[in-house]
Amino acid sequence: MEYAYIRVSSRDQNEDRQMIAMHEIGISDKNIYMDKQSGKDFNRPQYKKLVRRLRPDDLVYVKSIDRLGRNYEEILEQWRILTKEKRVDIVVLDMPLLDTRRGKDLVGTFLSDVVLQVLSFVAENERTNIKQRQAEGIAAAKARGVRFGRPPAPLPENFHSVYQRWKAGKITGLAAAKECGMPMSTFRYRAEIYEKARLL
């Protein structure tokens, strides 16, 4: 039997490109398994369902190695499970060298293993680079004053007067927080920001 595995990273990503590729090689919809989630691990319902269905000499198509997964070690482990334990063949459409039907001899197997290891490393390395670029982008945006997350709720109208009385030691922090209708920790946090803003 011939099967295909398709993965997109999130529910709003489009799987059409992968679907078209599988239809072009003649895979029927009932033999296409698709997950809409991250490739960080193999805990994916449709992938697991596909693996359970596989029998020796079946054939699995994927569009590219990063559709199988993004974790270098886990891609290699799944490749071993599929080819050695399940005894199925795998074809990566975007990389003709990764076709386990070819070169069943020692040289062919060695070549396939080397290419797989290189590509898996590249896929994971790219994921690491993307994360680093995102972190650098966020840091740069924060340095420019861009705020992330929900904007803080506006201060209650009585905050200034309550803050002044609390700062002067006329009321406790607990009483001040109660008057402002917020938890003690929130009052202290907002008071700290309020004080810094006044000093600027």
* Cβ count within 10 A of residue 110: 11
Catalytic residue among 9, 38, 161, 185: 9
| Distance (Å, whole) CA 178 – CA 167 | 15
Q: Is the dihedral of CA 131, 133, 135, 137 positive or negative?
A: negative
Catalytic residue check, 38: no
| Distance (Å, whole) CA 72 – CA 22 | 24
Report the catalytic residues: 9
